[in-house]
Structure 1
Amino acid sequence: MKLLTIILFTGLLSTTLAAQVSYYPADSLLLYFRQVEKATFLHQGLWDKDIYGPILLVDTETREVYANLPDAQGVLKPDKGIYRGILPKEVTFSNTDIQWSGTHWAMITLPLSINEQDRVDLMTHELFHVAQPSLGFHIRREENNHLDLREGRIYLRLEMAALEAALKARRLNRAEEHLRNALIFRKYRQMIYRGSETTENSLELLEGMATYTGQIMSGRNKWQWREYLIRRIERFEEIPSFVRSFAYEMVPVYGFFLYQKDNHWNKKVDEDTQFTEFFSEAFGVDRRILLQSYVKQVAEEYRGRAIADEENRREVSHNRLLDEYREKFFEEPRLEIRLEEMNMAFDLQNLIPLDEDEGTVYPTITLSDHWGTLTVEKGGALLRSDWRWVIVSEPLEITGKIIVGEGWVIELNEGYEVSRNSQGDYQILKKKQ
């Protein structure tokens, strides 16, 4: 994926920290690599391919990296069965896949979980992304800002509640009834928001199948997998934003039940698959027109009224927050930065979309480009909808290459400077020769 994502935000780090002592001995890292290699070999029938490949583990404190294979450009140096080096400061780090030093890596930030199943799950998830093009998945990332709106959130939460009930059901016929109800909420949500079936589907193909692959290869048995899925759903409602996080949750639950019927159902999925219809056919959801009165009646089985009340209260406070961000990024003095070839890392769980033509607020983000590196730890940055501009509040201090604002800092590269225009706003420009 060209866009890098990160679960936990980390601040700007300097390569001068590389001299610190490593906390990750080679024998432990080599064990992690071998566990993953074994898991992908045992599950090569999942995609008719062994997806084991280049893995890059990143120490987020020192920027030291540890790999299972050499890089194409010879930057990493062999050491006791692994390869070591320092990640340049312009490369953002996160759990993702990345092209670096001539090699396509599955990148994972350290420390890893002490639980082997969780470690293997995470690393095989990212290895799937590396293998994704060779598996025939050429997916375009889509925006799902409707999942930050009241009804979008309500019917997503109802779908998740029905999936949770399916996992907790004691009888298969009752579980499948809950699955059909989950799909009713899904189909109704996608009726409300025109085009959302396509945009949701695109992100689910990208992240849902990767998540399913990681969970299959983790080594959990059926009952451990079921309990793991329940824990994920129970935590889901605590996530501030659903616009990206939803894509990691739905497909694995439907996949859990499909796996009981057909271990190879995933091989019927390609980049043209529409999951709503695929799952509806698999679980026997008919094609009748969904009436609002019927959907609301079904919702009562899943705390529908309470969920609606909670979302009504959230909408009031959330609208106030959106107004505050609009004033901050469009009315008050600000720094506007032109983007050319950006790298970015962010928390996918807290994104705040504004209107479609305005962009999305990233409360925390690290973003690098030709001009340098921006690190936002609080207060947010606005990434415009066309991904050509990022906006932060006005600078408070400009000292050489360092620009500091409220909750953010920029380290400028050589050849760039900050300029103020006639409207009182700031921009980063190339220095005149």
Structure 2
Amino acid sequence: MNDTGWRRYAAIGFFAALLMALPAHAASVLNAEAAKAVFAEAKAVSDKDGGALWGMKLFGPIMLVDPETRTLIASEPDETLKALDGVFVGTMPKDMLPANTALDWHGKRWTMLQWPVWGDRQEQARLLAHEMFHRLQPALHLHPNDVPNPHLDTLEGRLWLQLEWRALAVALTSTGKARTDAIRDALAFRARRTVLFPGAAEHERGLELNEGVAEYTGLRVASADTASAHWIAAGKLLSSKEKTWVRSFPYVSGPAYGLLLDDLAPGWRAKLTVKSDLSVVLAAALPKGAAVDAVAHAKRYGEAELRVIETERAAANEAVRKAYRAKLVDGPILVLPNLGQHFNVSFDPREVVPLDEAGTVYPTITVSDDWGSLAVKEGALLSPDWQRITVSAPASSTERVGAGWTLTLAPGWKLVPTDKPGSLTVKKD
């Protein structure tokens, strides 16, 4: 999972929560030997690719961080770290949040990985390649773009997304005309979705280019061969069961588009820019053909059953949204501002709940800034412009614990009332 600099935000690595098996070295405490094993595996993953995908090697400076002990072990020296048995050890700075991400630190571009690094060997290789790609993004001029897609939490948004994925799965496991027809269907379903939700095309494009391309890289490098990659990607298209795809959809669709582009448009990676849209690039690689009636073709992919399922989900989800709105918008609240340079956020992208113009709820999230740190386990609302985070108000201005959250104020800061009855914010003495 990438960020635009950990001083702005850091999203918790998606795969860290998906992986089921735990390698032997990851079961131990983070120490020099365990760290060297991960660094060696990352180097082996990079050597396997040999720079073939992006014209440069994936491997570079890596740091492992233990969120519990705040131990930091790096593969390369730094002025704040101590050399120990071939690695470099220190303590994670207070203003740094642990995450699977890429960051600039003391003049170097690093890959950061949370300890333990979960997964069997193939899954771990995929995670390593994904995160190492994020380190290369600035050099590739593919600057990250992390814009949530709240329309993908609606009935119609989810419906047409899953129809697109089903068609892409058929394309990945077919050849010739069958593959072409399935790709046309997928693109038609995608176009239908973007018509229903103006602006969706640009938002999806940006996040897919960021996380989707990284995940494609991970899958390509980790898979035994191309056929295996196709089947793995197809399986994910048909089995994704996340609570929401608002932020996590690129992990599913990105590899599919990348692998199909490998088949139909060799050299596409060298032409990729920050303005690229993977679906547009794939459409351009197809032979000319008749326009697809998305509504008519949707029936072939089980649209009727999907609609029943998504209608039931939408009703249940509306109750969740209503409860969050009452708690984080309508009722007494505690508002914590984004003061700028030292604002850090770490969250799980698979659990977000959009609240329309109010912003997005993150059921679990950790935030830090000059005013201190906030740990949330039962929902916080992040504004659309990332300028404030809101939780339910505590019982009084002297309380530092509320409904599902704990606040640690930095010295010299205190809670003060706002104009809204019962609501608070922070202020420096």
Q: How many residues matched? A: 409
**Is residue 72 of structure 2 the alignment partner of residue 65 of structure 1?**
yes
Name which of structure 1's ranges 137-146 and 196-205 shifts more when overlaid on structure 2.
137-146
Q: How does 1:1-400 map to 2 (within 5 A)?
A: 1-2=3-4, 3-7=9-13, 23-41=29-47, 42-71=49-78, 74-169=79-174, 171-236=175-240, 238-261=241-264, 263-284=266-287, 286=289, 288=291, 294-341=293-340, 342-355=343-356, 357-378=357-378, 380-396=379-395
* 2:20 corresponds to: none
Q: Aligned equivalents of 1:145 and 1:258: distance in 2?
A: 27
TM-score, with structure 2 as normaliser: 0.88
CA RMSD of superposed structures (Å): 2.4
Name which of structure 1's ranges 204-213 and 104-113 shifts more when overlaid on structure 2.
104-113
Q: How high is the sequence identity, in percent, across the aligned residues? A: 32
Q: Aligned equivalents of 2:139 and 2:149: distance in 1?
A: 26
Which amino acid in structure 2 is aligned with residue 112 of structure 1? V
296 and 114 in structure 1: CA distance in 2 versus 1, 3 angstrom threshold: closer
Q: Aligned equivalents of 2:332 and 2:288: distance in 1?
A: 53
Show CA shifts across 1:250-283 (max 9, x none): 1211222332345533222111222222111223
SS, match of residue 185 in structure 1:
helix
Name which of structure 1's ranges 77-86 and 420-429 shifts more when overlaid on structure 2.
420-429
287 and 382 in structure 1: CA distance in 2 versus 1, 3 angstrom threshold: farther
Show CA shifts across 1:324-369 (max 9, x none): 22221222111111111310010101111111x3111111100111
Q: Aligned equivalents of 2:219 and 2:14: distance in 1?
A: 21
94 and 235 in structure 1: CA distance in 2 versus 1, 3 angstrom threshold: farther
283 and 264 in structure 1: CA distance in 2 versus 1, 3 angstrom threshold: same
Indicate conservation of the 8 Å contact 2:393/2:422, yes or no: no
Correspondence for 1:404 among 401, 408, 426: 401
275 and 224 in structure 1: CA distance in 2 versus 1, 3 angstrom threshold: closer
Which amino acid in structure 1 is aligned with residue 232 of structure 2? Y
Name which of structure 1's ranges 26-35 and 342-351 shifts more when overlaid on structure 2.
26-35
TM-score, with structure 1 as normaliser: 0.88
Q: C-alpha displacement at 1:117, in angstroms?
A: 2.6
Q: Aligned equivalents of 1:22 and 1:404: distance in 2?
A: 33
Show CA shifts across 1:37-89 (max 9, x none): 23324431211112321111122321212211123xx1121112111111133
50 and 384 in structure 1: CA distance in 2 versus 1, 3 angstrom threshold: same
Q: Aligned equivalents of 1:383 and 1:285: distance in 2?
A: 44
Q: Aligned equivalents of 1:189 and 1:244: distance in 2?
A: 16
**Is residue 418 of structure 2 the alignment partner of residue 414 of structure 1?**
no
Q: Aligned equivalents of 1:234 and 1:377: distance in 2?
A: 30
Indicate conservation of the 8 Å contact 1:396/1:406, yes or no: no
Correspondence for 1:428 among 422, 426, 429: 426
Note the residue ranges of structure 2 that are not aligned, 5 or more in a row: 17-26
Indicate conservation of the 8 Å contact 1:43/1:217, yes or no: no
Note the residue ranges of structure 1 that are not aligned, 5 or more in a row: 11-20
SS, match of residue 249 in structure 1:
helix
Q: Aligned equivalents of 2:179 and 2:271: distance in 1?
A: 23
SS, match of residue 102 in structure 2:
strand
